[in-house]
Amino acid sequence: MKITSSNLRQFAINVTMASCVTSILSLGFSSNALAISFNLSTGQGTPNSGTLGNQGAFTTKSGTTTIDFNSLSLGALSDPYTEGIATFDTTSPIVDIRNDGFAPGFCTTTAPCSNAGVPVANSSNYLAIFQSNGNNGEVGISFSKDISYLGFNWGFADADNTTALFYNNGSPIASFTATQIFGSVDSEETGFVEFSGGIFDKVVFSQVGGGGFEIDNLAYQQVPEPLTILGSGLALGFGTLFKRKKSKLKQSC
């Protein structure tokens, strides 16, 4: 075959596309190249409607799904309970849906703030985890798809709370405690806690010792399907090349 500038240009295009495919696949399957980190904020108080803060704090991140527990009956959470791609494993002694004035609150200015001092009490349902007869309270949430973001309104944080033991494919990859996130927990602080930076498919919330672990407005974001991204990218790339070749063919005829 005769080597021409056109052949060389096409070869360069093919090499570049192959490199892009490799990079996309690498991004799709190197799922835990980044470590999970947390952020504590006020969140937002009225994502839908109603009085500011009377439903607690919600995520400000777009493209997420929120479980607010408001449609569930009060009392013990059914085992298992599935909503969307999230399944709650509630085999621990006390994992309840409650509405009793102790729901996580919305900090209107800065976070954390004292849950008892929030301007408007959260009057909605929330998830509560308690120890019973010396057995630690625990709830595991498994996702049928990989997750890259998790956030929730955490209320009345105390040193006995142990949040977020994150898993990926059955292996623990990160763990955080209330003290790590809130610093001082003397005033039973509240705030909206967000976890991101890694890929995971399960999180376990634990209540170790006395007190309770109160959770509301659990938000998550699914990882985009790698093959969907790859397919869209390749379709766009090949479509562009086809149009260019078709245009050149018309010009030469």
CATH superfamily of the 36-225 domain: Galactose-binding domain-like (2.60.120.260)
- What pLDDT sits at residue 139? 94
pLDDT digit of tens for each residue in the chain (253 aa)? 555 656 555 555 554 444 544 444 344 434 454 689 999 999 999 876 667 889 999 999 999 999 999 999 999 998 899 999 999 998 666 899 999 989 999 999 899 998 888 888 899 999 999 888 778 889 999 999 999 999 999 999 888 777 789 999 999 999 999 989 998 777 788 999 999 999 999 999 998 877 889 999 999 999 987 644 544 454 455 445 445 544 544 454 4
| Global confidence as pTM | 0.77
Q: What residue type is assigned to position 71 of the chain?
A: S
